[in-house]
Amino acid sequence: MKMEWIEIKPTCCQAEEELKETNKDENKHLPVAIIGAGPVGLAAAAHLARYDQPFILLESGAQVGANILTWGHVRVFSPWRYNIDETASKLLKEQGWTEPDLNELPTGKELVDQYLKPLANTPEIKKSLFANTKVFSISRKNMDKMKTANREKQPFVIYAEQNGEFKKFEARAVIDATGTWGNPNPANSNGIWLKEEEAIKNQIFYGIPDILGAGKSRYLNKRVAVIGSGHSAINSLLELAKLREEYPATEIVWVLRKVRVEEAYGGEELDALEARGDLGSRIHKLVDSCVVQVITPFRIQNIKGENGKIELVGETKDDLKTYSDIDEMIVNTGNRPDFSILREVRTSIDTATECVKALAPLIDPNIHSCGTVRPHGEKELRQPEKDFYIVGAKSYGRAPTFLMATGYEQVRSVVAYISGDYEASEKVELELPETGVCSTNLNVTKASCSSNSCC
């Protein structure tokens, strides 16, 4: 599906022209600071290199793609052609890089090893990359958030810790591509971290554990509860099912908040991404064959640990219920953005989704379930703080439908604007695969389980 959005505006738009003119200031000699060297941050670096703009790329991990390596064993559902930025590809090919098969599905580790690492090692990017550099705050020089006079003419100051030492960087613009991974939501349905859940953190894995590899001994022959209804949860369930084939004493419990489990299957064979649709079809079969016990709707109110076992207390359709004798939990309830580094930056964030405010009507899962969003770029991502942008997964806040291709188009538009190429910035194009499911056509068949506990 190819979508194109071009804004038609009056030929004489004084306010917009004045805004563009303010880009031409005394801070032009300073670099653009990119926070986060994941796929989107590195794509921003590639585009800045294309425009011959100075930049610095700050990464808190020991190497690029550090967050991705925490789920490096997982094979993504989008093929390579959706995971490679076009400008980054051109930069790599100039260095003799061999492009992977665009129809293949990479694992997280392959994504890092075959694409992100080579990109980071190109001469244009390597010289400006700072690893082990954790940003803890961003502000305007000599100004706190309250000060307005002459604010836009002051450079940004980025405060960071680099290899244990305090560092300051000045920049004329900032692109926050830090993502949301590593900042998980709790299992608690109210979104609140309770001390009881934190007390048993050694029995809870937030994310996608390597169940068939390094984490095998942790889960075999255990009663494992998976919390969540998205693709991460389904990945965990499918790997547990494979483990159960070898160790039949392994018990799998799937805890969801949805009214019916069918809502979690997605578009299945209607999904334009075959691997994404296949996830839904495979878990559908496992539920129907009772390999996976489903508990839904179940809204966790508290988690208790006693004698090495976990007890879930939650609300069902009718009353309060408790599920006991759980050995391990895998929590896949999504992630949330961390705005702590932006306390002194003026931002416009949606109060519900915690996404960039202009994107909220397009991606709010309460009203939009397609997983696709119309093309958007610099204009939608623009913050009240001039020359500051939130891009990538963090721009989507708590919404779970972000795809890398979306982030690549975001930074292409943002970098074009920062570089003065306003025409390229305003023309935004994006081709995304249909999910096969929309709020307008979601047709759930009669539930295969008549009560709140299936099988």
When pLDDT is cut at 50, 70 and 90, the band that residue 449 belongs to is very low
Over range 25-39, report the average pLDDT.
Answer: 91
Over range 157-181, report the average pLDDT.
Answer: 96
- Given a contact cutoff of 8 angstroms between Cβ atoms, the answer to whether 84 and 110 are in contact is no
- 46-95 tens-digit pLDDT: 999 999 999 999 999 999 999 999 999 988 878 899 899 999 999 999 99
- 363-412 tens-digit pLDDT: 887 776 555 567 789 999 999 999 999 999 999 999 887 889 899 999 99
* Lowest-confidence segment of 182-191, 360-369, 416-425, 440-449 by average pLDDT: 440-449
Please tell me the pTM assigned to this model: 0.85
**Residue 23 pLDDT > 70:** no
**Residue 10 pLDDT > 80:** no
Higher pLDDT, 320 or 156: 156
- Given a contact cutoff of 8 angstroms between Cβ atoms, the answer to whether 60 and 139 are in contact is no
Over range 34-56, report the average pLDDT.
Answer: 97
Nearest to 173 by CA among 356, 350, 22, 349: 22
Q: Tell me how far apart the alpha carbons of residues 371 and 369 are, in angstroms, rounded to a whole number.
A: 6
| HSE-CB of 364 using CA atoms within 13 angstroms | 13
| Contacts (Cβ under 8 Å, ≥6 apart) of 371 | 401, 403, 435, 437
Per-residue H/E/C for 14-72: HHHHHHHHCCCCCCCCCCEEEECCCHHHHHHHHHHHHCCCCEEEECCCCCCCHHHHCCC
- Mean confidence (pLDDT) of the chain: 86
pLDDT of residue 443: 35
Number of H helices, E strands in the chain: 15, 19
Using CB atoms within 10 Å of the CB of residue 148, give its burial: 0 to 12 exposed, 13 to 18 middle, 19+ buried.
exposed
**In the block, residue with structure tokens 């547990």:** 240
CA trace torsion 368, 369, 372, 375 (10° rounding): 0
> What percent of the chain clears pLDDT 90, i.e. is strictly above it?
65
- Helix residue ranges per DSSP H, 97-188: 108-111, 117-120, 123-126
- Helix residue ranges per DSSP H, 184-256: 195-199, 216-219, 231-246
When pLDDT is cut at 50, 70 and 90, the band that residue 14 belongs to is low
